[in-house]
């Protein structure tokens, strides 16, 4: 990660495929088959695992669901085994998860102590976290980053831009569902923060404290693009186009708050949604 390297950290990337002998800054692994030499991790200060196929690409067929699961869980299991067998294991594993852990919860306020929800995304997040926690020991602590929708280049925002630029954007369903979000700058900021914070342990909600509903999000996007955002997409139409994914990603409501980050004193770099969108599209 360039931001970590700029801060003076030495970063070794785990890459699929052969790495030429003597190549600096890279090591090979095979997460699908559990292949990772534990010696690669020996002496490392931390392991950061953000691996996983993008959730929002394509309808959730049985095959795609299995790929979404395996891309997250097998890679995490591979890392956890290597950490457990390393002669000098890294003292910290930072592992991605998602606010999908909570499922569709309506108006309920959710912090890191809230119980998990139900449905495919909630079960996927629970299994993903369980795989990471296999590395938890007296020698290694595990931080779980429950990521909200990341407002940055690519991802969900990128897929929303075209209809909004054409003036065809607007709320989805009722528009009252809570849409947790976080700026890419704060994803990077939180990773750096927990790297340098010995008290960081367990789950962290990576969601802006500036809570918005779906209708607020679409208004903000329209405002930044200087386009109308009044064309509502009915829930039935969203389900017809996207199937099960529409209910899980667009119509579900999760009022997520970053309580654990607040307790440790993290200061959000970009708490304002308009600013986050501007940074992402500039």
Q: Taken in order 248, 249, 255, 258, is the CA torsion positive or negative?
A: positive
Return the SS3 of 20.
coil
- Cα gap 149→254, rounded to integer Å: 11
- Cα gap 94→188, rounded to integer Å: 12
3-state secondary structure 232-252: CECHHHHHHHHCHHHHHHHHC
Element (H, E) at 49: strand 47-49
Contact 277, 151 (CB under 8 A): yes
In the prediction, which pLDDT does 215 show? Answer: 97
Domains and CATH numbers, the chain: 2-281 (3.40.50.720)
In the prediction, which pLDDT does 126 show? Answer: 98
225-268 residue pLDDT tens:
999 999 999 999 999 999 999 999 999 999 999 999 999 999 99
71-101 residue pLDDT tens:
999 999 999 999 999 999 999 999 999 999 9
Buried/exposed code over 49-84 (b: 16+ C-beta within 10 A; e: otherwise): bebbeebeeeebeeeeeeebbebbbbbbbbbbbbbe
Q: What are phi and psi of 190, to 5 degrees?
A: -70, -40
- Cα gap 131→145, rounded to integer Å: 14
Task: Specify the range with the lowest mean pLDDT, choosing from 9-23, 129-143, 155-169.
Answer: 9-23
Q: 226's torsion region: left (phi>0), alpha (psi -120 to 50) or beta?
A: left
Mean pLDDT of the chain: 93
In the prediction, which pLDDT does 3 show? Answer: 78
Prediction pTM value:
0.94
Closest CA to 129 of 91, 101, 92, 103: 101
152-196 residue pLDDT tens:
988 889 999 999 999 999 999 999 999 999 999 999 999 999 999
Closest CA to 251 of 265, 263, 237, 264: 237
User: What is the share, in percent, of the chain residues with pLDDT greater than 70?
Assistant: 99
Closest CA to 138 of 84, 177, 179: 84
Half-sphere exposure of residue 254, counting CA atoms within 13 Å on the CB side? 34
199-225 residue pLDDT tens:
999 999 999 999 999 999 999 999 999
Closest CA to 210 of 174, 177, 182: 182
Q: Strand ranges (DSSP E) for 105-228? A: 109-110, 141-147, 149-151, 181-183, 202-206
Q: In angstroms, how far is the first alpha carbon of the chain from the final one?
A: 21
- Cα gap 141→176, rounded to integer Å: 38
């Amino acid at each position: 990660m360039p931001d970590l390297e700029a801060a003076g950290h030495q970063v070794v990337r785990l890459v699929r495929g052969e790495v030429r002998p003597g190549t600096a800054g890279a090591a090979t692994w095979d997460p699908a088959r559990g292949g990772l030499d534990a010696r690669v991790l020996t002496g490392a200060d931390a392991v950061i695992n953000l691996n996983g196929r993008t959730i929002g690409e394509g309808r959730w067929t049985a095959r795609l669901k299995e790929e979404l699961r395996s891309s997250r869980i097998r890679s995490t299991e591979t890392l956890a085994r290597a950490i457990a067998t390393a002669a000098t294991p890294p003292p910290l594993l930072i592992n991605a998860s998602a606010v999908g852990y909570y499922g569709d919860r309506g108006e309920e306020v959710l912090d890191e102590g809230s119980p998990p929800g139900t449905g495919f995304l909630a079960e996927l997040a629970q299994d993903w976290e369980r795989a990471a926690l296999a590395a938890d020991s007296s020698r290694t602590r595990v931080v779980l980053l429950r990521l909200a929708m990341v407002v940055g280049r690519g991802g969900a925002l990128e897929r929303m831009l075209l209809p909004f630029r054409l003036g065809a954007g607007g709320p989805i369903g009722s528009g009252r569902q809570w849409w947790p979000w976080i700026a890419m700058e704060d994803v990077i900021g939180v990773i750096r923060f927990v790297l340098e914070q010995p008290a960081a342990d367990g789950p962290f909600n990576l969601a802006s404290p500036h809570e918005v509903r779906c209708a607020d999000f679409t208004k903000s996007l329209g405002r930044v693009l200087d386009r109308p955002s009044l064309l509502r997409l009915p829930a039935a139409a969203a389900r017809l186009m996207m199937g099960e994914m529409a209910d899980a990603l667009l119509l579900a409501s999760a009022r997520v708050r970053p309580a654990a980050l607040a307790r440790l004193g993290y200061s959000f770099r970009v708490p304002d949604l308009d600013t986050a969108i501007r940074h992402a599209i500039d």
